[in-house]
Amino acid sequence: MKYYSYYPGCSAEATATPLGLSVLPVARALDIDLVELEDWNCCGSTPYNSVNKLEAGAMAARNLALAEKTGLDLVTPCSNCYVVLTSVNTHLKELPDFREKVNEALAAGNLTYDGGVKVRHLAEVLYTDITPEGISSKVTNPLEGLKVASYYGCQLVRPNGFDDPESPHSLDELVASLGAEAVPWELKARCCGSSLIMPEPNVALGLINKLLKNAQERGAQCLVTPCPLCQINLDAYQSQVNSKFNTSYNLPVLFVTQLIGVALGIPAKELALSKNIVSPMGVLAPYL
Amino acid sequence: MAETMVEAPAVKTSFVDEVCSVPGGEAIRSCIQCGMCTGSCPTANNWDYQPRRVIAMVRAGFREELLSSNSMWFCASCYTCTVRCPRDIKPADIMHALEVLAVRSGLSTKQSRTPVMYQCFVDSARGNGRVYELGMMIKLFLKTNPFAAIKLAPVGLGLFLHGRLPLRPTRIKGMKELKAIMDKAKKLGGAK
């Protein structure tokens, strides 16, 4: 059994519910004990860091301070939480004035942070600690014949990810460890527009269209991603892309934990497969 | 001639220093204007001034023009520029630093809805300790363009029907402590 402090992130409880729900049974099946960080708060995300650095730093640091008490690595399944917590953690190490002020703020909440937490992405834990071989050994329903486009998005691999920032391979290896075929495609780590989907939908929809087009042209039957925002953009907004660009995509977009869960024989209900907007039940039927 | 040469550097220095003082903005002086950032940016076509020019404008002291532009608000934080930059200046972090300065100086553009969305997000995170996505979206559309919400209504409905848009926010137990931390951070002022 491997132990981690677990930071779900806000979206895992709302728009990315299928992620939040599927993480738990998959972790259990892989002997990962994710101990949820007691009373965690929002990491501040990119928006807070684009409004006020000190307040954003204090907000993220409350989580780091709480995690430090556990003595465990802090693991999040959200790529944005991962980048933000990592970035604040780095600034706290490298900028003494920033560290001093953030700790002064934390003291008002009876907390202190000494910089001792390692922030990690769940996908990295799966790849590095559990390993594709370790996962493969527990597969009961090999996904033979399933063509999957691994979509890394941005913040899993940039700016400081564990994989190649331009041409990553870790998710492809995880997909292959399940018996599925990871189709090669060019845009696997290009941007989906992230939160611009709300304020600037036309820009984001254009980027999403490019991704779906490329994945489909390369023969993918579905996409798989670890990132909540990428999943929402490609899944929930797929119908908007279809209306805007006169396309007819019907590509399910699974969270990586959902796909792993299917191969491990975890029931569809526990993996929240019915909560995906573009239903994956058709392409997954042979394996359920 | 001599007079302008004496005055101009003072203006230039202060804007660069201002950007350098925000965490993430420190390395801007190392830029060699190669344009890798602009060439790598997936949204650059929409920017009033594209990434390379943004950096040049900071160093040339065009504070008001830049902080009131839509440029940095189109950064989707994909960090492609950042991993490709040969001088390691972290262009995406510089864009975030410019957003901070635009907000701080009240110059944020009205031409982009992004500044409003960011503020709605911050209010939501501070209010409950966790972001309440539905509340944030509703507030954004009410503050910007309620009619745009009609176009996105099917997306919201789809998420709701799939149990992905809770109608109530989640509030952390330690709100009192979080509020004390955040109030103190606010009191300590701009991060340097």
Strand partners, B10: none
Lowest mean pLDDT among A121-130, A201-210, A246-255, B143-152: B143-152
Q: How far apart are CA A31 and CA A136, in angstroms?
A: 14
Of chain A, the percentage scoring pLDDT greater than 70 comes to 100
With beta carbons under 8 A apart, name residues in chain A contacting B189. Answer: 54
pLDDT at position B150 is 86
CA A143 to chain B, closest CA, distance in angstroms equals 25
Instruction: Kindly state whether B8 is in contact with chain A, defined as any CB-CB distance less than 8 angstroms.
Output: no
pLDDT at position B148 is 79
Q: How confident is the model at residue B12 (pLDDT cuts 50, 70, 90)?
A: very low
CB contact under 8 A, B23 and A98: yes
Burial class (CB in 10 A: 0-12, 13-18, 19+), B146: exposed
Burial class (CB in 10 A: 0-12, 13-18, 19+), A189: buried
The tens digit of pLDDT for each residue in B37-53 reads 999 999 999 999 999 99
Identify the CATH class of B23-104.
Answer: mainly alpha
pLDDT at position B126 is 95
Residue B67 has pLDDT above 70, yes or no: yes
Q: What tokens were used for A184?
A: 């090669």
Q: How far apart are CA A28 and CA A68, in angstroms?
A: 24
The count of C-alpha atoms lying within 13 angstroms of the C-alpha of B75, restricted to the half-sphere facing its C-beta, is: 32
Residue B192 has pLDDT above 80, yes or no: no
| Mean confidence (pLDDT) of chain A | 97
The tens digit of pLDDT for each residue in B138-181 reads 999 999 888 878 888 899 999 999 999 999 999 999 999 999 99
pLDDT at position A18 is 98
Residue B125 has pLDDT above 50, yes or no: yes
Where in chain B are all domains bearing CATH 1.10.1060.10?
A: 23-104
With beta carbons under 8 A apart, name residues in chain B contacting A99. Answer: none
Instruction: Kindly state whether B105 is in contact with chain A, defined as any CB-CB distance less than 8 angstroms.
Output: no
The mean pLDDT value for B107-130 works out to 95
Q: How far apart are CA A140 and CA A122, in angstroms?
A: 22
Q: How confident is the model at residue B1 (pLDDT cuts 50, 70, 90)?
A: very low
pLDDT at position B189 is 79
The tens digit of pLDDT for each residue in A146-189 reads 999 999 999 999 998 899 999 999 999 999 999 999 999 999 99
Instruction: Kindly state whether B20 is in contact with chain A, defined as any CB-CB distance less than 8 angstroms.
Output: no
Residue B6 has pLDDT above 70, yes or no: no
Strand partners, A36: A6
Q: How confident is the model at residue B84 (pLDDT cuts 50, 70, 90)?
A: very high
Q: What domains can you pick out in chain A, each with its CATH number?
A: 2-122 (1.20.1050.140), 142-263 (3.40.50.11810)
Q: How far apart are CA B26 and CA B94, in angstroms?
A: 8
The tens digit of pLDDT for each residue in A89-136 reads 999 999 999 999 999 999 999 999 999 999 999 999 999 999 999 999
B170, B132 Cβ separation under 8 angstroms: yes
| Best CA proximity match to A18, nearest among A239, A262, A231, A182 | A231
The mean pLDDT value for A59-88 works out to 98
pLDDT at position A70 is 97
CA-to-CA dists, residue A82 to A161, A225, A227, angstroms: 9, 15, 10
Residue A72 has pLDDT above 70, yes or no: yes
Q: How confident is the model at residue B13 (pLDDT cuts 50, 70, 90)?
A: low
CB contact under 8 A, B185 and A54: yes
